[in-house]
Amino acid sequence: MARRERGLIRKKVAELAGVSEATVSRVLSGVGTVKEETARRVMEAARQLNYVPSALAQRFALRRSGNLGVILPMLPKVNLFSTYYFSEVLSGIGMTAKQRGYDLLLLFREPDEPRDYANLFRTQKVDGCIIIGAQDVPSERAALAELREGNHPFCLVNQRYDGEDYNSVDADQRTGCREAVRHLLAQGCRKIGFLNGPAVYSNSKDRLRGYREALEEAWLAFLPERVLLGNYSRTSGYQQAKAVAALVQAGHIDAIIAANDRMAIGLLQGLKESGVKVGEDVALIGCDDSDIVRMTDPPLTSIRVPFFDIGSEAASRLLDAVADQDGSAAFDVKLPVKLITRASSSAAGTTKA
């Protein structure tokens, strides 16, 4: 565009926005300091005249970085990008962010690293952040409280805190576990065990609550000795297999629900090595419905969790909150889950499609 033509457009923008041409020049070039409200008027006038300034200038003028931050945990011996949960959630976040004109800034948090999320906003690295893998520990609670006190837009994925109303997007894990127990009861199982994850994650509490509620609904006792603990890794499922095999062989359980597919697959492997046949000696259900469960032997019944949709919803809602100036875009979303039945959940070996 010729210099003279640009000058004419800036003059029209100045007239429409009710500001000086010098102010328009500062806003559209991204150079100098202008009040945010003035910058918004200039940008709106430019849009009305079909003039599109550079993305960098727009971000500078509106005091935006154009980045959506995603905070991820660093997990020992885990490649996050090849893990079903993380890859699906990140894909949902990334696709929605791109559609909204945002770039992703991935930030990895070491297990013992101080949580200083607010610094991302103080240094203007991000306009909002999505936190994945948050834990209910004092340091995490303090970091989230600091974000709230600073009025910084953030969203939790698959984590909530009792007594707090932070923005969050989650799945209805409680209902999912209730449905899993009901399915096992319909198969004739009455001694149902549960392999859960750590209590620092709200999902672990939700799943355990759903499991317990379904037992009580069927007038069955909740027995703590039937509840085992893993850490959501395949290895932890494998390590608990001997204990589960002993319970099966002693007649203390005839079915077990694992709180995610990775633990269920480790458990399946360990039970085979112990001579326990899943789908015959004991019924087994996982949670996530990851791609691999269709290829296990037997195929694994699992609670399907819409992780891609969770990521997409989190990004969409958070970016709405970023654009919302009066803070009225607070949200707490729970997406539905669905039990997908296969051969592993039949205590008599009958395949369920």
Contacts (Cβ under 8 Å, ≥6 apart) of 255: 184, 187, 189, 191, 192, 193, 282, 283, 284, 285, 345, 347
**pLDDT reported for residue 344:** 96
**pLDDT reported for residue 303:** 98
Residues 212 and 209: their CA atoms lie apart, in Å, by 5
Encoded tokens for 279? 């789908």
Encoded tokens for 330? 């607070």
| Beta carbons within 10 angstroms of residue 257's beta carbon | 29
312 burial type by CB count under 10 A (0-12 exposed, 13-18 middle, 19+ buried): buried
**pLDDT reported for residue 23:** 77
**pLDDT reported for residue 33:** 62
Encoded tokens for 98? 């791109």
Q: pLDDT tens track of the chain, all 353 residues?
A: 455 566 677 777 777 778 787 776 666 665 556 676 777 787 777 777 776 655 545 554 445 668 899 999 877 666 777 789 999 999 999 999 999 888 999 988 887 778 888 888 877 788 899 999 999 999 999 999 999 998 889 999 999 998 899 999 999 999 999 999 999 999 999 999 999 999 999 999 999 999 999 999 999 999 999 999 999 999 999 999 999 999 999 999 999 999 999 999 999 999 999 999 999 999 999 999 999 999 999 999 999 999 999 999 999 999 988 877 555 567 999 999 999 999 999 865 433 33
Encoded tokens for 276? 């326990």
**pLDDT reported for residue 109:** 85
Residues in the chain: 353
Strand partners, 253: none
**pLDDT reported for residue 44:** 77
In SS3 terms, the chain reads as CCHHHHHHHHHHHHHHHCCCHHHHHHHHHCCCCCCHHHHHHHHHHHHHCCCCCCHHHHHHHCCCCCEEEEEEECCCCCCHHHCHHHHHHHHHHHHHHHHCCCEEEEEEECCCCCCCCHHHHHCCCCCEEEEECCCCCHHHHHHHHHHHHCCCCEEEECCCCCCCCCCEEEECHHHHHHHHHHHHHHCCCCCEEEEECCCCCHHHHHHHHHHHHHHHHCCCCCCHHHEEECCCCHHHHHHCHHHHHHHHHCCCCCEEEECCHHHHHHHHHHHHHCCCCECCCEEEEEEECCHHHHCCCCCCEEEECCHHHHHHHHHHHHHHHHHCCCCCCCCEEEECCEEECCHHHCCCCCCCC
Encoded tokens for 105? 């800034």
Strand partners, 72: 108
Residue entry with tokens 């099966």: 248
From residue 216, alpha-carbon distances to 184, 191, 251, 272 in Å are: 14, 13, 21, 31
149 burial type by CB count under 10 A (0-12 exposed, 13-18 middle, 19+ buried): exposed
CB environment 58-86: b (16+ within 10 A), e (fewer)? bbbbbebbbbbbbbbbebeeeebeeebbb
